Chain A
Amino acid sequence: MKRNVAIIGGGQTYHAARRHDVNQVEMTNEAIRRALDDAQMTIDEIDAVLVSNMEFFEGTHMTDCWMVDGSGAYGKPGLKITTGGTVGATTVCAGAHHVASGLFDKVLCVAFEKQEEGDTGAILSGVAHPLWGRSMAGAAVGYFAMMGSSYMAAWGAKEEHSAMVAVKARQNARKNKYAHLKLDITIEDALNSRMLSWPIRMLDMCPASNGACAMILADEKTAKDRCKKPVWIRAMETAHNEQFELDWRDAKTKRPIFSKVCASRIYKKLGVKNPAKYFDVFEIYEPATWTEIVWYEDLGLCKPGEGFRLIEKGMTNIDGPIPVNPSGGVLSTNCIGASAMLRVWEAALQIRGDAGGHQVPKDVNRALTTAYGGTNWAVMTALSKTLD
Chain B
Amino acid sequence: MAKKEKELISVPITVDVPYRFAAGKYMTKFLMELKNNGKILAIKCPKCGRVQLPPRIVCAACHVKNDEWVELSNEGTLVGFTIMYIPLTDPTTGKPHKPPFVYGSVRLDGATSVLDHLVNIEPTMDKVWVGMRCKVVLRPQKDRIGDLSDIRYLEPLPGQKKPREQRSYKDKEQ
Do A and B come into direct contact in the complex, CB within 8 Å?
yes
Q: Interface residues, chain A, CB within 8 Å of chain B?
A: 20-21, 59, 119, 125, 129-133, 135-139, 141-142, 145-146, 149-150, 152-153, 159, 194-200, 242-245, 249-250
Q: List 26 A-B contacts (CB under 8 A).
A: A20-B8, A20-B10, A125-B89, A131-B27, A132-B27, A135-B94, A135-B148, A138-B88, A139-B88, A139-B116, A142-B103, A146-B81, A149-B130, A159-B170, A194-B85, A195-B85, A195-B172, A196-B84, A196-B86, A197-B83, A198-B84, A199-B82, A199-B172, A242-B60, A243-B56, A244-B113
Once the chains bind, are A249 and B80 in contact (CB under 8 Å)? yes
A59 CB contacts on chain B under 8 angstroms: 13, 15
For residue B141, CB closer than 8 A to chain A, the reply is no
Once the chains bind, are A132 and B52 in contact (CB under 8 Å)? no
Closest chain B CB from A144 CB (angstroms): 9
For residue B61, CB closer than 8 A to chain A, the reply is yes
Closest chain A CB from B66 CB (angstroms): 12
A131 CB contacts on chain B under 8 angstroms: 21, 23, 27, 31, 147-148
Q: Mark B47-60, 1 if CB is under 8 A from A, else 0.
A: 00000111010001
Once the chains bind, are B88 and A137 in contact (CB under 8 Å)? yes
Q: Which 8 A-B pairs have the closest CB atoms?
A: A242-B60, A145-B82, A59-B15, A146-B80, A135-B91, A20-B8, A198-B83, A130-B21
User: SS class of chain A's interface: helix, strand, loop or mixed?
Assistant: mixed
**CA distance in complex: A113, B89 (Å):** 26
Once the chains bind, are A132 and B172 in contact (CB under 8 Å)? no
Instruction: Give the size category of B's interface with A.
Output: 35 or more
New A-B contacts (16) at CB < 8 Å, excluding given A135-B149, A139-B103, A245-B60: A130-B19, A131-B27, A135-B147, A136-B117, A138-B86, A149-B130, A150-B80, A153-B166, A195-B85, A196-B85, A197-B83, A197-B86, A198-B172, A199-B172, A200-B82, A244-B54
Nearest residue (CB) in B for A18 is B8
Closest chain B CB from A249 CB (angstroms): 6
B145-168 contacts to A (CB < 8 Å) = 147-149, 166
For residue B87, CB closer than 8 A to chain A, the reply is yes
B149 CB contacts on chain A under 8 angstroms: 135
B61-101 contacts to A (CB < 8 Å) = 61, 79-89, 91, 94
**CA distance in complex: A196, B21 (Å):** 32
Once the chains bind, are B85 and A138 in contact (CB under 8 Å)? no
A132: contacting residue among B13, B15, B54, CB under 8 A: B54
**CA distance in complex: A166, B56 (Å):** 38
Closest chain B CB from A147 CB (angstroms): 8
**CA distance in complex: A195, B117 (Å):** 20
B61 CB contacts on chain A under 8 angstroms: 242
Nearest residue (CB) in A for B61 is A242
A20 CB contacts on chain B under 8 angstroms: 8, 10
**CA distance in complex: A145, B125 (Å):** 14
Nearest residue (CB) in B for A137 is B89
Q: Mark B1-38, 1 if CB is under 8 A from A, else 0.
A: 00000001010010100010101000100010000000
**CA distance in complex: A194, B86 (Å):** 10
**CA distance in complex: A243, B52 (Å):** 11
A195 CB contacts on chain B under 8 angstroms: 85, 172
A242 CB contacts on chain B under 8 angstroms: 60-61
Once the chains bind, are B147 and A142 in contact (CB under 8 Å)? no
Nearest residue (CB) in A for B166 is A153
Nearest residue (CB) in B for A156 is B168
Closest chain B CB from A129 CB (angstroms): 8
Closest chain A CB from B165 CB (angstroms): 10
Once the chains bind, are B82 and A244 in contact (CB under 8 Å)? no
Closest chain B CB from A377 CB (angstroms): 13
Given contacts A133-B148, A135-B149, contact A197 B89 (CB under 8 A): no
Once the chains bind, are A141 and B148 in contact (CB under 8 Å)? no
A152 CB contacts on chain B under 8 angstroms: 169
